[in-house]
Structure 1
Amino acid sequence: MSKSNMDLLEKNSYKWLVLALATYSQASATFVTYGVAPLAALWQQDYGLSQFQTGVLVSAVNLGPIFSMLFIGDALDKYGERWLIGVGSALLGLTMLLASFTNNYIALVIILGFVGVWYGTAQPGGSKVIIKWFPKSQRGLAMGIRQTGIPIGGAVAAALLPGIYLRFGSSFAVLTQTILSVLGGILFSLLYRDQSITKINNGSNRTFKEKMITIFKNKRLHPIFLVGITMISLQMILVAHLMVFLAEKLTISISFSGKILSIVLIAGMIGRVVIAWVSDWLWKGNRTIPLTICVWCAILGLIMLLFLSNDWSIWVTIILCAWLGFFGIGWFSLFIVEVSERASEDSIGLTVSFALTLNQFAIVLAPALFGFLVDWQGSYYTAWICLIILISISGFWLMFSLAVSKKTTNNMIQVLPEKRG
């Protein structure tokens, strides 16, 4: 076997190790950040916190990435992924460890805010790893697998941390988060290979400001950004409000509606892999068409949700909620790949970070605004309608951009033979 074939075989094998490292790193980081929610519920009981104070603890983690992801994305483009993801994951865990040394509420909020800052390395860094190591024909599947790290990390945190907390105490629960996150950082730093800095920068010396201007001027990204904002709003609203909505609408127990929500999340995890894989297999790397389908399928599910009643079979309700989970959560892998592939080659990390920063604002604001509309109107109807309208706007814009892209491609195909002649 020639040296070039051996190198190719080694690279093909190594990329699957890279995928495993990126997935574990994402899962361990999410185990910390998503684990704040069950810990906050237990802290509320132990320290007599109000609902507002408990909510602020969760919000603090989600606010952190807003202040860090843009700068981390730019650093990823300049210096590579190895040390930024590795050290970021380790610092994420070590910062969380500080929470076990304080009983002061304000100090806890500040600590959790810094935990969120370090979480800013996980998403853009892991996404760039997939773009770098996997060809376009396999990118969707690889990104889908990596994205399962988020629901897996969250599910394991919800399953394990309350039991650990109640049996061994708050400090031991936090220590568990620290160990898993630091281990993820160490493994990534030891086993991941970066490209040379010259190759990473690709000969570009553009400043942060110049790259940001390019992102703003890239009109192909604008509809994708809006899809991200509206669909992540749907995702967070489902997580925050669907349980109570189902319990009130169908007069079922919160416990049973919680089981339906778990089906939504499982369907979303499956969707993140399946939909992304289908974009590789059926649409040959075209992400816009399946992403558009996801948007309109989610809208269809929300419209059906408006007519939900006790007259429906519970199985029809479960199928509808699974549909919403599959498309309303499963869209995310396509979104990340689409943003990455529409970005300039020397600013993939920064572009993904910018998109995720926009999403992060929606993650913080959407559940609260939805709840405000429900309280103001005294029903969920207006809130669901507003959400449907917003997602529809993003769907129409995405369809328009797809039509323009096809027209441009067809014009280029028609012009090329004329130039040859």
Structure 2
Amino acid sequence: MSAETQDIPASPLPVWQVLAATLATQSLTTLCALALSAIAPRAAADLGVEPALVGYQVSVIYAGAVITSLAGGGFVRRLGATRASQLALWLTAAGCLLSGLGGLPGLALGALVIGLGYGCTNPAASHLLSRTRSGAHMNLIFSIKQCGVPVGGVIAGLLLPPITLLWNWQAGLIACAILSLAISAALFRVRRGWDADRIASARLFISPLAGLKLIWNHQILRWLAFCSFAYSAVQLSLTGLLVTYLVAEIGLDLVLAGSLLAIAQVAGAAGRLAWGWLADRLRSGSKVLIINGVIAAAAAILTALITISWPVGLIAAVVAVFGFCAVGWNGVFMAVIARQAPPQSIGLATGATLSITFAGVIVGPSGFAWMHDRLGLSYADGYMLMAIVTLVGVLCMVQARKGIPAR
């Protein structure tokens, strides 16, 4: 049991209602986080900037997420997990509206606010799901909830480009805000009952150093955190820049590129469940993460080789395999962390490790954008670089696996 939930009276919650709420919250906060990525070419043209600038925007989002992921446990105990989920939705909605004001200052401020909301989602969802009667299906329940990330990406890829072409890119951001506020309003019906365990006198902020010290002093957790840094950098570079790559460099139209992004995200959602099933089958999450990384590196190389002459079906197959691996690793990774962390510190270790994961997201897309803008790196070269970064993550997982006892 995590530090945030221990000593709290057990009041079992309805598993499917909680799962629906947490999945919807994860999906909508992810939609807001990826919204600009799905419409980057049009927004960049209107603002008079390079489309690669979206890499910096994604990094600002996850900088905000680092802050609240480390402090999220305090929010859950003080405000209640349902209220913390509503707070996440309010912040992401506000961030979308700020981003739509126009101009780079609005985009930067909006991205930070979106990130502050996004970082609240996992501590709140884990708290709520841990109070359900999921029993032997707990791993599946958590895996389904984790599918909210690619589901949000699918919505972004399918919904926002058509809205942008019909009206403008600001209309797409407004649509995201409206959907987030609608889900937050639906949570008012259950908030009082689900948040009956909140502690009004609890500290709102928890020191981030305790969790970081824990993973640094634990060799296996340290290598796992390094692996997540590399894998997450590649994941968000894929989802954050794929549309821009396919439009600006390959020459596809915006709607087709958005559909291909949606395909990658759908494959990622399937991957989260499939990789989890395989890890249980092989009884080794670390082995599955190594296999995942090797295939992801190969897919990154193939993505870099795409040309306008390729059949659309072949392009879709490549990005689907890439998404299946690069978006699908998270659930298995979280399970490995839970198994390797000290039993009394699972929540602390998970939150601290996620801060390293989010740091990879910050470095990945922004580093990609910087090398494109300053060094003249093409998007194709960037995807080749993703293959190298992924293999570095594989090596980190190999090191972590050396210390994991066989089951």
Q: Give the TM-score of the pair, scaled to structure 1.
A: 0.73
Per the alignment, do residues 32 and 260 of structure 1 end up closer, same or farther by CA in structure 2, a change over 3 Å counting? closer
Give 1:58 shift: 4.9
Match of 1:404 in 2: 403
Q: Distance in 2 between matches of 1:151 and 1:344?
A: 30
- Extract unaligned runs of 5+ from structure 1: 1-9, 410-421
CA 1:30–1:53: 2 relative to 1, 3 Å: same
Partner of residue 273, structure 1: 273
Q: 1:232-271: per-residue Cα shift (whole Å, max 9, x none)?
A: 222223235556767899x764566665444323211211
Q: Which amino acid aligns with 1:216?
A: W
Report the CA distance shift for 1:383/1:172 in structure 2 as closer, same or farther (over 3 A).
Answer: closer
Assess, with a 3 A threshold, how the Cα gap between structure 1 residues 317 and 139 changes in structure 2: closer, same or farther. same
TM-score by length of 2: 0.75
The residue aligned with 1:146 is 145
Instruction: Map 1:384-399; keep pairs closer than 5 Å.
Output: 386-399=385-398
Could you give the per-residue CA deviations for residues 371-421 of structure 1, whole angstroms, max 9, x where no partner exists?
5556848667875565444433332332343343236x6xxxxxxxxxxxx
Pairing 1:120-135 to 2, within 5 Å after superposition: 120-131=119-130, 133=132
Length, aligned pairs only? 387
| Larger deviation, residues 351-360 vs 251-260 | 251-260
**Could you say which residue in structure 1 is the equivalent of 2:117?**
118
Residue 181 of structure 1 is matched in structure 2 by: 180
Distance 1:332 1:208, change over 3 A: closer
What is the distance in 2 between the residues matched to 1:303 and 1:134? 44
**Structure 2 counterpart of 1:365, from 351, 363, 366:** 363
Match in the other structure for 1:334: 332
What whole-Å deviation, never above 9, does each CA across 1:135-193 have from its counterpart, x for those lacking one?
Answer: 68433322332122222223323433455566677776555433322332343454262
Instruction: Name the one with the larger helix percent.
Output: 1
Instruction: Determine the structure 2 residue equivalent to 1:160.
Output: 159
What per-residue deviation string (whole Å, max 9, x for no partner) do you get for residues 281-304 of structure 1? Answer: x246x4323222212222343456
CA distance in 2, matches of 1:133, 1:389: 41
Q: Secondary structure at the match of 1:220?
A: helix
Per the alignment, do residues 289 and 44 of structure 1 end up closer, same or farther by CA in structure 2, a change over 3 Å counting?
closer
Q: Are the structure 2 counterparts of residues 253 and 167 from structure 1 closer, same or farther at C-alpha, using a change threshold of 3 Å?
A: closer
Other structure's SS at 2:403 match: helix
The 3 A distance-change label for structure 1 pair 158 and 356 is same
Matched AA of 2:25? S
Q: Report SS of the residue matched to 1:221.
A: helix
Which amino acid in 1 is paired with 2:351? S
On the 8 A contact 1:32/1:177 being kept in 2, the answer is: yes
Please show how residues 174-213 of structure 1 align to structure 2 within 5 Å. 174-188=173-187, 190-191=189-190, 193-194=194-195, 196=197, 209-213=209-213
CA distance change for structure 1 residues 348 and 283 in 2, over 3 Å: closer, same or farther? Answer: same
Pair 1:180–1:243, CA change in 2 (3 A)? closer
The 1:164–1:76 alpha-carbon spacing in structure 2 relative to 1, beyond 3 Å, is same
Please report the RMSD computed on the Cα atoms of aligned residues, expressed in angstroms: 4.1
Contact in 2 for aligned 1:127/1:336 (Cα 8 Å): no
Aligned mates of 1:39, 1:253 — CA distance in 2: 14
Equivalent residue runs for 1:344-383 within 5 Å: 344-345=342-343, 347-370=345-368, 376=375, 383=382
Say which SS state the counterpart of residue 68 (structure 1) adopts: helix
Distance 1:242 1:94 in 2: 26
- 1:69 corresponds in structure 2 to 69
Q: Distance in 2 between matches of 1:162 and 1:245?
A: 15
Q: Which moved more, 1:30-39 or 1:290-299?
A: 30-39
Give the drift of 1:20. 0.9
Percent identical residues: 20
